[in-house]
Structure 1
Amino acid sequence: MLKIRHATPEDFTAISVVAVSAFEQPNEARLMSDLRDGGHVAIEMVASDEDMVVGCVMLSRLELPQEWLTLAPLCIIPSRQRQGIGAELVRYALDEARRQEFDAVVVVGDPDYYVRFGFEFDGFAQLFSPYPPQYTGLYPIDPQTSLTRAELLYPAPFLEV
């Protein structure tokens, strides 16, 4: 039975294995470790099945705007992809971001995937970042963030990947 829960330090090795297998290279696992080590992680959740970690999601604090998070990475072991696990992780993580009263979450990813969770691509917000604007989505928790004009300053580990 699939369970979504907050990650613990005991999960970190399993999370690295999931990230490496999902992306077929170590960059995302290294990013997650660097974000943890730098104190940037606000929310980290895992999906486990029979006590085996099969997926994970991380939301880290942006340097600017303050009180904004970025969703990255989201990874599922290949044998469990396309079973709705990623969607459940995203929903739980966004719920937790709302509970913790963050203002917004941004993601760089496929608009067709993330729009179903409420991310706005090509909305009224004007977001400037090192990533392509057509793939930068905004999930406005505070409704005023939908209209904001902001430079997105990511934590250093994102810029080192």
Structure 2
Amino acid sequence: MSRHTTPSADRAENAARDSASDVLVPSRRQYLDLKAQHPDAILLYRLGDFYETFDEDARMLARDARIALTSRSFGRSGRAPMAGIPHHALNHYLGRLLAAGHTVAIAEQMTPPGRGLVERAVTRVLSPGTVSDPALLPAGENRYLAAVGRRGDCWG
């Protein structure tokens, strides 16, 4: 699958991240760290009752899910493009993103909200070729899965 950004845009984003790393708020640093683990996916980052995404992912989410693109301040590290969806509408918007050919990584809150940074981790990565949830599959379309195994000289 092709990258969502150009190499020069990636270099610029990485340079901006590196130069601003000392001023990044913890949630922004956490988002960028998770995004670095899934560079070819749109990262949906759970923040309370919403899944939010930033930067180029926000632009793609806004365009392909047909939602508003806005921005969010991250203190001294500046503003970033942002788009978000309500958590209860996740499957609806996942369907749109998968239909547009995107891979999506979903980062959930792993600890309850409280003081300090909430721990988050990517719990699912979905792509048009790997989705198996009937709620996300287009009605009337077949999805085929093949598996090949080898034991010694035998294939099956």
Same fold flag (TM > 0.5): no
Structure of larger gyration radius: 2
* TM-score in terms of structure 2 length: 0.29
Structure 1 or 2: more strand by fraction:
1
* TM-score in terms of structure 1 length: 0.28
